[in-house]
Amino acid sequence: MISPAMAVPLWCAGILLLLFTSLPASAATAAEGQDKFDTLEAIIKAGGDFMGADTCADCHEDYAEHVNHRDECETCHAAGEAHVELMMEDETDTGPLISFYGDNMPPAAVRNAVCMNCHRGDSLMHWRSSAHESDDIACTDCHTVHRPGLVMERTTQAEVCYRCHKDIRAKTFQASTHPIREGKVICSDCHSPHGALGPAELSQMSINDNCFICHADKRGPFLWEHYPVTEDCTLCHRVHGSNHPALLTKQGPQLCQQCHADIGRAGRSHPRRFFDFDNPDKKRDRFIVGMNCANCHSQVHGSNHPSGVNLLR
């Protein structure tokens, strides 16, 4: 005799069985086959024989016309015999084929494994565990296979990256930026999208080393060093854009006094703009040298001048 405690689970199981068996044959096959070709090995095993690129071109004339390499189609898409047979019966079922676009794509890991069969080493040696790989980004999310890709062209690469990195795009429209919109600096000049040892997928081991590729004059060594400069450029600069001059994180006086708070305490003993002398308004003391500290301390990145101990000219 079935106890009340067992009745509910058995009733639920019966409903699920009824729903599954009542599905149309095509729907049941689709549900059963959803996970059938989720691995590269399963797709290769079920694909059958190779048909040749000429067979593919009979249906895919547009791809055959614009393909930008000489590989056989099935080198990347896997053997096409089963695909051809199924398409002749049901044009909605692509079968065990590796599709890189559309609704019948296998997981990103499967698609990427195809690309990695040829493209490995050099710039791709850090792809495993990179930020893009960890986020299940597929190679074909950025690269186009059958024709030259936008991501490879300096004038269009940034727009490909902006599809995901919309916040970075917004920063490039601020008052002070690197010439990214003009195409003189592009994302891959600083970042390695396939992975790197540096932070934020930077091409170099540190932020400063990355900046020194272009800003070699800031590298030094200097007789008189500015320690924040040697530590991290981004302590003072926003690399993608800022509303302050020279990509600074804040206005000059406020930026300097984040560290040099003693200047504010020194009050009127520190040189200031001429109309501040003997000004009884103490509120102005928080903006000592209201125009800019760099008016006098112009060598903020370091100095080799005998009088440069205070980063003067």
Tell whether omega for the bond before 221 is within 30 degrees of 0, i.e. cis.
yes
pLDDT of residue 3: 54
Distance CA 227, CA 204 (A): 20
Closest C-alpha to 116, from 94, 150, 143, 95: 143
Please check whether residue 168 lies inside any domain of the structure. no
Same domain, 137 and 221: no
Structural domain of 291: 216-310
| Beta partners for residue 299, in sequence order | none
Rg over alpha carbons for the chain, rounded to the nearest Å, is 31
Distance CA 261, CA 210 (A): 30
pLDDT of residue 165: 94
pLDDT of residue 174: 95
Please check whether residue 245 lies inside any domain of the structure. yes
Distance CA 41, CA 104 (A): 17
Which are the contacts of 85, defined by CB distance < 8 A and separation ≥ 6? 48, 95
Same domain, 52 and 136: yes
Please check whether residue 76 lies inside any domain of the structure. yes
Number of domains in the chain: 2
Same domain, 136 and 229: no
Same domain, 53 and 139: yes
Q: Decide which of 147, 176, 195 is a domain's last residue.
A: 147
pLDDT of residue 119: 84
Q: Decide which of 120, 147, 174 is a domain's last residue.
A: 147
Query: What is the identity of the amino acid at 299?
Result: Q
Mean pLDDT by 10 residues, the chain (313 residues): 49 42 37 55 75 81 69 80 77 74 82 85 82 90 82 89 94 94 91 89 92 92 91 94 93 82 58 49 52 81 88 80
> How far, in Å, are 82, 145, 148, 154, 181 from residue 64 at the CA level?
20, 12, 14, 26, 34
pTM, entire model: 0.70
Q: Decide which of 147, 169, 194 is a domain's last residue.
A: 147
What is the helix (H) or strand (E) element at residue 189, kind and residue range? helix 187-190
Q: Tokens representing 262?
A: 């003693």
Please check whether residue 139 lies inside any domain of the structure. yes
pLDDT of residue 153: 87
Evaluated on CA atoms 185, 186, 187, 189, the torsion sign reads negative
Please check whether residue 161 lies inside any domain of the structure. no
Same domain, 138 and 226: no
| Beta partners for residue 242, in sequence order | 176
Please check whether residue 3 lies inside any domain of the structure. no
Please check whether residue 23 lies inside any domain of the structure. no
pLDDT of residue 93: 66
Please check whether residue 169 lies inside any domain of the structure. no
